[in-house]
């Protein structure tokens, strides 16, 4: 016989994992309240305010808008998997300010542009709001949305150089434009 608790303890999520790699980061003072829908860590968000004057973070709705990285610390209990964590609506989240040559992070949510079959140092990436993934491109022929994206990234490590997080491959990105 199954129980709700057994199911909760044995299921493993499929949320994005990652790591902040910068020695220091700059964050938005007091973070922001997640609005609209749940947001995985290491996704790009836009900021706003609610009717009470609280700062809010929601999924990036337009690639040309100023973007920030949501990267809340995880507190693990009872052997929880890193793949179980996300930022829920109404929760306060840590928001990282993206700065060129200063902000680096690993992320498991990535895909390849046409013609790219593996991760290599020196490739470029941008965040795709439709798929909620970073699209990795050859710098000589970047994805059509790359040029107009407010946040652009450089691939600084390939997946062979990084340790997998809970079975998910990672790519390390450094901000080159924010």
27-48 per-position pLDDT tens digit? 999 999 999 999 999 999 999 9
The H or E element that residue 93 is part of is strand 92-93
- Average pLDDT over every residue of 135-155: 96
Question: Can you tell me the distance from the alpha carbon of 59 to that of 90, in angstroms, rounded to the nearest whole number?
Answer: 14
Residue 1 pLDDT more than 60?
no
Question: Tens digits of per-residue pLDDT, 45-104?
Answer: 999 999 999 999 999 999 999 999 999 887 666 666 666 687 999 999 999 999 999 999
Q: What is the mean pLDDT of the chain?
A: 88
Question: b/e per residue, 44-78, with b = 16+ CB within 10 A?
Answer: bbbeeeeeeeebbbbbbeebebebbbbbbeeeeee
Whole-model pTM: value is 0.88
- Domain containing 108 equals 4-177
| Domains of the chain: total | 1
């Amino acid at each position: 016989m199954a129980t709700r608790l057994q199911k909760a303890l044995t299921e493993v999520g499929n949320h994005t994992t990652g790591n902040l790699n910068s020695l220091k980061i700059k964050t938005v003072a007091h973070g922001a309240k997640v609005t609209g829908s749940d947001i995985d860590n290491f996704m790009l968000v836009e900021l706003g305010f609610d009717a009470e004057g609280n700062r809010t973070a929601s999924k990036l709705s337009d690639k040309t808008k100023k973007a920030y990285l949501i990267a809340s610390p995880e507190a693990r209990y009872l052997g929880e998997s890193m793949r179980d964590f996300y930022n829920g609506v109404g929760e306060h989240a840590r928001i990282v300010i993206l700065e060129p040559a200063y902000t680096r992070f690993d992320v498991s949510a990535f895909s390849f542009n046409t013609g790219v079959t593996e991760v290599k140092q020196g490739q470029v990436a941008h965040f795709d709001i439709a798929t909620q993934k970073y699209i990795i491109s050859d710098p000589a022929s970047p994805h059509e949305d790359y040029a107009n994206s407010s946040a652009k990234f450089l691939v600084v490590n390939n997946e062979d150089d990084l340790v997998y997080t809970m079975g998910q491959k990672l790519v390390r990105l450094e901000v080159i434009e924010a």
